[in-house]
Amino acid sequence: MFCAKNKELNMFKKFTFKTEKATGRYRSIYPDTHNIKLNKFECGLIDDKKPYKIQLQVIKDDINKDGNPNCDWEWITLKKESESLQEAKNFLNENHEAIQLKYKIYTGKHCMK
């Protein structure tokens, strides 16, 4: 299992962000996608509309919690609603340690705990 916690320095990694613009014929219809990354792996999203809500992928406590034993992670939405995209990013990085202690962040094949 891969850990985001640096064992030598006993520090948690901060979140990074990537905004992807829509492309193609219907790009004016689709909103921008604001991805949240942890250690170069995607682990969540920030909504493109106001209020900006933060969604993270986390490991389920109980695999049968939602009746789907094939998927071992779920989406959660944090209670914090931000007035700007930068405020949402600042909130995540100011509270990155508490978030990583409370939730097992899921990033594809890697579990960040």
Alpha helices in the chain (DSSP H): 85-94, 96-102
User: pLDDT at position 10, please?
Assistant: 45
Read off the pLDDT of residues 26-46 as tens digits, 9 standing for 90 and up: 888 999 999 999 989 999 999
Residue 101 — pLDDT band, cuts 50, 70, 90? very high
pLDDT at 88 over 80: yes
12 versus 52: which is more confidently predicted?
A: 52
Contact 22, 32 (CB under 8 A): yes
DSSP bridge pairs for 19: 34
| Sequence spans of domains, the chain | 15-22+30-112
